[in-house]
């Protein structure tokens, strides 16, 4: 298709508008956007490198994702089981959301996120809301991530979900903290299940490395011994991300960001966790890391 890129005449400019209608994937609504604000999406093609999965699991996820590339277009079809459904499961902040984001980046598709609670609790309402979401993802060629999939365990809700997914040919990623709560009929339709346990010390060290790699332009003074000490602290991915963000604020006075800033932040979090069940172990670990 040839596109006429010749300069517009004055009369044509009078007919043109400076705003176009676009869909805001985060706010989940249509908005008018200034054409000067439109730019190419900077996809992170190496997002899979940050996943805490073994190579076999990464290869399987990539194979399933690449297989789906040939089925872009209308969201539903007459053939059954042509979609790709994944289920990352595990405790809080062990990489379930990151898996969905990595697939999105690899396929260069938008990630449409919603929780099971957004669908409603009445079967008819759930069906209407889910069908709208699936159709929208089909038109946008987006990936649907449905969080708290274990909440859809009532028989009538499972039936609704299975009925719609039967003919859906897009990519859907479900996440859950409670794998045992997933309905067995629903589990049988899942193409790939990724089960993650709590982060090990080696995992936490990799999480710290991944986050620090995104801070290449920041003035950071942290060595291998610092990473080892930080990884000993039993914090999950979300807590580590939060600690890094807070430490950057702490070092904003033109100071060089180092491990001491993170220890200050983690010490404050330690005090909060010590008031909760299971916090004593974290408190002891922080004290030990600070003394080294």
Compute CA distances 94 → 59, 71, 272, whole Å. 19, 30, 21
3-class DSSP state of 95: coil
Instruction: Supply the pLDDT for residue 73.
Output: 46
User: At a CB cut-off of 8 Å and minimum separation 6, what does 165 contact?
Assistant: 83, 85, 172, 189
Residue-wise DSSP of 85-148: EEEEE-STTSSHHHHHHHHHHHHT--EEEEEHHHH-SSHHHHHHHHHHHHHHHHHHT-EEEEE-
Q: Dihedrals φ, ψ of 176, to 5°?
A: -150, 150
Decide if 285 contacts 232 (C-beta within 8 A).
Answer: yes
Instruction: Supply the pLDDT for residue 276.
Output: 60
* Helix (H) / strand (E) containing 84: strand 84-89
Instruction: Supply the pLDDT for residue 217.
Output: 63
User: At a CB cut-off of 8 Å and minimum separation 6, what does 92 contact?
Assistant: 177, 236, 238
Instruction: Supply the pLDDT for residue 3.
Output: 66
Q: Dihedrals φ, ψ of 98, to 5°?
A: -60, -35
Give the Cβ contact number of residue 251 at 10 Å: 20
Token pair for residue 45?
A: 């093609």
Instruction: Supply the pLDDT for residue 32.
Output: 92
Token pair for residue 4?
A: 């006429």
Q: Which residues of the chain have pLDDT under 50?
A: 73, 278-283, 285-286, 289-290
Instruction: Supply the pLDDT for residue 57.
Output: 84
pLDDT tens digit sequence for 108-148: 899 999 988 888 888 888 889 989 999 898 888 899 998 88
Decide if 147 contacts 115 (C-beta within 8 A).
Answer: yes
Q: Which residue has the tokens 């010749």?
A: 6
Q: Domain 47-195: state its class.
A: alpha beta
pLDDT tens digit sequence for 196-214: 888 889 989 988 888 887 7
């Amino acid at each position: 298709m040839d596109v006429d890129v010749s300069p517009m005449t004055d009369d044509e400019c009078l007919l043109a508008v400076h705003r176009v209608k676009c869909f805001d994937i985060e706010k989940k609504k249509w908005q008018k956007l200034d054409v000067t604000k439109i730019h190419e999406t900077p996809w992170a093609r190496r997002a899979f490198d940050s996943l805490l999965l073994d190579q076999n699991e990464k290869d399987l996820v990539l194979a399933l994702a690449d297989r789906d590339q040939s089925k872009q277009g209308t969201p539903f079809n007459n053939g059954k089981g042509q979609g790709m459904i994944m289920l990352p499961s595990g405790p809080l902040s062990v990489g379930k959301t990151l898996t969905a984001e990595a697939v999105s980046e690899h396929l260069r598709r938008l990630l449409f996120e919603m929780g099971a609670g957004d669908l409603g609790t009445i079967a008819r309402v759930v069906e209407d809301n889910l069908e709208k979401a699936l159709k929208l993802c089909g038109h946008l060629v987006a990936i649907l991530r449905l969080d708290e999939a274990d909440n859809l365990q009532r028989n009538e809700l499972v039936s609704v979900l299975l009925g719609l997914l039967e003919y859906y040919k897009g990519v859907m990623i479900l996440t859950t903290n409670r794998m045992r709560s997933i309905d067995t009929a629903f589990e049988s339709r899942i193409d790939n299940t990724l089960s993650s346990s709590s982060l090990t010390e080696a995992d936490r060290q990799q999480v710290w490395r991944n986050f620090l790699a995104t801070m290449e332009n920041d003035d950071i003074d942290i060595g291998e011994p610092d990473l080892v000490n930080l990884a000993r602290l039993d914090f999950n991915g979300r807590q580590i991300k939060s600690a890094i963000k807070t430490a950057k604020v702490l070092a904003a006075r033109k100071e060089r960001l180092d491990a001491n800033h993170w220890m200050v932040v983690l010490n404050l979090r330690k005090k909060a966790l010590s008031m909760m069940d299971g916090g004593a172990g974290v408190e002891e670990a922080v004290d030990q890391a600070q003394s080294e």
